[in-house]
């Protein structure tokens, strides 16, 4: 990573704006992988819904209705969970490809979608495994109490980035994601929420377009909705890749600039209190200015550097 300070202080808004600009400049290359997987997903979900029987809602709430509803959920839930998990794993492949392509460009390496595809091919087993574990944790959390699923989605949102950029193993990628997200969980949540809403909006636009064209069902309808959703999907892995560099850069800068928590010296004699010893940062965490040993504020940007 060439310039750590370039990424370390970016806000959510800056990350999203840069990601959107990055995506717009390379739309044709980034859109195609998600279009292919969205079409596959559409066919899979069409198959899933064909396996789910219709449930007639009867007026009134009787014991017989409750038993029928529980039996219906018992039959339907495993089908929905299975197909959701398959979709999650399938999506790990284009996400890994986009992450590799984006990271190469952000680090100044020459890259194309074909070269990124070649480099990421050997990581396919790891990508599928990471996607499987992510999907299991998130989907089970959503099925149980919803909130745990959202937490899992946020905590492990950078696992694929760690697997591709750092070439980490499966467990190490999940651990790395958890460690980085713990520093700025609100940032990760905000990016996931924004990109989720954008993808939902894309689906709504596709549905509206089909309604206007009076396309009620069939593969043409699936194609239109898939195109609309695919147009929004690539923004998420790009934005999370920017976030990964931002959080990794902040972590490395802290280590390089000697930002340590205060420690206490042990008492020399009985009855004496512990003496607090503070380590002063050597550099400003915001602008990188070298600091005097007694500095409380940065002489260049004015930010407070000592608690």
Q: What is the pLDDT of residue 73?
A: 84
Q: What is the pLDDT of residue 85?
A: 87
Which of 45, 128, 40 minimizes the C-alpha distance to 80?
A: 45
- If asked whether residues 273 and 124 sit together in one domain, one would say no
In the numeric block, the tokens 């996607």 are attached to 131
Q: What angle do CA 193, 223, 205 make, to 5 degrees?
A: 45
Distance between CA atoms of residues 247 and 263, nearest Å: 25
213, two tokens: 């064209």
Q: What is the pLDDT of residue 219?
A: 74
- If asked whether residues 153 and 285 sit together in one domain, one would say no
If you ran DSSP here, which 8-state letter would residue 263 be given? E
- If asked whether residues 220 and 307 sit together in one domain, one would say no
- If asked whether residues 193 and 131 sit together in one domain, one would say yes
- If asked whether residues 206 and 265 sit together in one domain, one would say no
- If asked whether residues 151 and 283 sit together in one domain, one would say no
The total of other beta-carbon atoms located within 10 Å of residue 132's CB is 16
180, two tokens: 């980085």
- If asked whether residues 292 and 174 sit together in one domain, one would say no
Q: Which H or E run contains 185?
A: helix 185-212
- If asked whether residues 282 and 137 sit together in one domain, one would say no
Full-model pTM: 0.74
Q: What is the pLDDT of residue 287?
A: 59
Q: What is the pLDDT of residue 293?
A: 75
Residues 162, 176 contacting (CB under 8 angstroms) = yes
- If asked whether residues 177 and 244 sit together in one domain, one would say yes
Number of domains in the chain: 2
- If asked whether residues 211 and 190 sit together in one domain, one would say yes
121, two tokens: 């091919």
Q: What is the pLDDT of residue 259?
A: 46
If you ran DSSP here, which 8-state letter would residue 277 be given? E
- If asked whether residues 28 and 70 sit together in one domain, one would say yes
Low-confidence residues of the chain, pLDDT below 50?
A: 1-7, 255-256, 258-266, 268, 276-277
Q: Which domain holds residue 307?
A: 261-307
Q: What is the pLDDT of residue 114?
A: 84
- If asked whether residues 243 and 293 sit together in one domain, one would say no
């Amino acid at each position: 990573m060439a310039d750590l300070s370039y990424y370390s202080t970016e806000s959510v808004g800056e990350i999203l704006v840069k990601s959107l600009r990055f995506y717009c400049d390379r739309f044709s290359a980034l859109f195609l992988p998600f279009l292919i997987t969205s079409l596959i997903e559409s066919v899979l979900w069409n198959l899933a819904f064909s396996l789910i029987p219709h449930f007639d809602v009867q007026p009134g709430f009787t014991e017989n209705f409750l038993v029928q509803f529980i039996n219906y959920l018992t039959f339907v839930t495993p089908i929905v969970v299975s197909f959701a998990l398959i979709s999650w794993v399938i999506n790990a492949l284009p996400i890994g490809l986009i992450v590799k392509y984006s990271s190469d460009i952000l680090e100044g390496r020459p890259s194309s979608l074909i070269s990124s595809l070649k480099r990421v091919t050997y990581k396919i087993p790891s990508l599928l495994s990471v996607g499987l574990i992510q999907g299991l944790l998130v989907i089970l959390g959503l099925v149980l109490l919803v909130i745990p699923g959202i937490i899992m989605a946020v905590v492990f949102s950078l696992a694929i980035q760690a697997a591709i950029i750092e070439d980490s193993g499966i467990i190490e990628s999940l651990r790395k994601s958890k460690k980085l997200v713990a520093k700025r969980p609100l940032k990760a949540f905000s990016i996931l929420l924004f990109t989720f809403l954008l993808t939902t909006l894309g689906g709504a636009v596709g549905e509206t377009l089909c309604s206007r064209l009076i396309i009620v069902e069939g593969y043409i309808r699936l194609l239109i909705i898939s195109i609309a959703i695919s147009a929004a999907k690539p923004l998420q892995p790009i934005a999370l890749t920017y976030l990964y560099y931002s959080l990794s850069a902040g972590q490395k800068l802290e280590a390089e600039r000697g930002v340590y928590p205060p420690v206490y010296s042990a008492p020399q004699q009985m009855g004496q209190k512990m003496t607090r010893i503070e380590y002063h940062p050597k550099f400003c965490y915001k602008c990188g200015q070298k600091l005097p040993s007694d500095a409380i504020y940065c002489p260049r940007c004015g930010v407070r550097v000592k608690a």
